[in-house]
Amino acid sequence: MDIQVRVWRQQGPADKGRMVTYDVKDISPDASFLEMLDVLNEKLILDGDDPVAFDHDCREGICGMCGMMINGVAHGPERATTTCQLHMRHFKDGDTIDVEPWRAAAFPVIKDLVVDRGAFDTIIQAGGYITAPTGTAPDAHATPVPKPDADAAFEAATCIGCGACVAACPNGSSMLFTAAKVAHLGLLPQGQPERSSRVVDMLEAQDDAGFGGCTNMGECTTVCPKGIPLTLIGRLNNDYRKSIGKR
């Protein structure tokens, strides 16, 4: 495949940034989107140009690093996947593809496609922990957990912190992320001692970090690569209402 990419280039946080067009030739339809960017970067380096900065690590859909907007959609047109798991066969020979960083006030651009997602860390630091002693691996069965609760907690725990939910939300809200983190601990017996303080503290941290409020648009769950359901935001709001006076 021969394609054109229009990539957001921004030297640093203070730079205004601009879209730059590049031709990328002879790309296999089975290449991943990141491999296509690798090919572009190899050419830029050989030409003595600055390669495009982008985040990546596992390249197998589990670390959440590879966030970018592709043709205006978080993680691209396939939806519910990560950029590293998106393949070029979802595009056509001759296509022009726009590639931009996450656009959210709480995720400032560091360089090109790389944004600072440290705001997520402040939410986790505010309540993403338990204090109940859980022992070592052999003690794992000492506290019985009903199967439906274990399954629901596991589903919530699959959130990889990629930030696609924030990038897709017209309000730049991180409610789906926070809801997943609150649910995955709050559904388990070990998470009960901090259940009230956790939800209030994490929502306060979310507001302090500059994320917007949730107005139930649902864009977040549409692009979430792990299928975190919107119902967890309802659960978060219920927990918050019950906890606000108890902390």
Instruction: Note the Cα 8 to chain centre separation in Å.
Output: 19
Q: Are 10 and 111 in contact (CB under 8 A)?
A: yes
* Contact call for residue 7 and ligand SF4 (CB under 6 A): no
Report yes or no: 199 and 239 within 8 Å, Cβ to Cβ. Answer: yes
Residue 128 makes contact with ligand SF4 by CB under 6 A:
no
- Answer yes or no whether residue 208 interacts with ligand FES by CB under 6 A: no
66 near ligand FES, rule: CB under 6 A? yes
Structure tokens at 121: 């860390």
- Give the residue, chosen from 228, 235, 236, 243, that forms a contact with ligand SF4 under the rule CB under 6 A: 228
Residue 64's φ and ψ, nearest 5 degrees, are 80, 10
Per CB under 6 A, does 226 bind ligand SF4? yes
Residue 175 binds ligand SF4, judged by CB under 6 A: no
209: contact with ligand FES by CB under 6 A: no
Pick the closest to residue 240 from 204, 196, 208, 193 (CA basis). Answer: 196
Q: Which stretch binds ligand SF4 (CB under 6 A): 10-18, 122-130, 155-163, 195-203?
A: 155-163
User: Judged by CB under 6 A, does residue 162 bind ligand SF4?
Assistant: yes
Q: Which of 88, 114, 115, 176 binds ligand SF4 (CB under 6 A)?
A: 176
Among 224, 233, 236, 239, interactor with ligand SF4 by CB under 6 A? 224
Q: Closest separation between CB of residue 146 and ligand FES, Å? A: 31
Q: Say which residue the tokens 């730079």 belong to.
A: 15
Kindly list the distances between the CA atom of residue 27 and the CA atoms of 34, 44, 92, 110, 214, in Å, as whole numbers in the listed order.
11, 16, 11, 28, 40
Q: Which of 2, 23, 57, 139 binds ligand FES (CB under 6 A)?
A: 57
Please, which residues have CB within 8 angstroms of residue 101's CB and are 6 or more apart in sequence?
A: 8, 10, 67, 68, 69, 107, 109, 112, 113, 114, 115
Residue 81 contact among ligand SF4, ligand FES, none, beta carbon within 5 to 8 Å by kind: none
> Which residues of this chain interact with ligand FES, rule CB under 6 A?
56-59, 61-66, 82-84
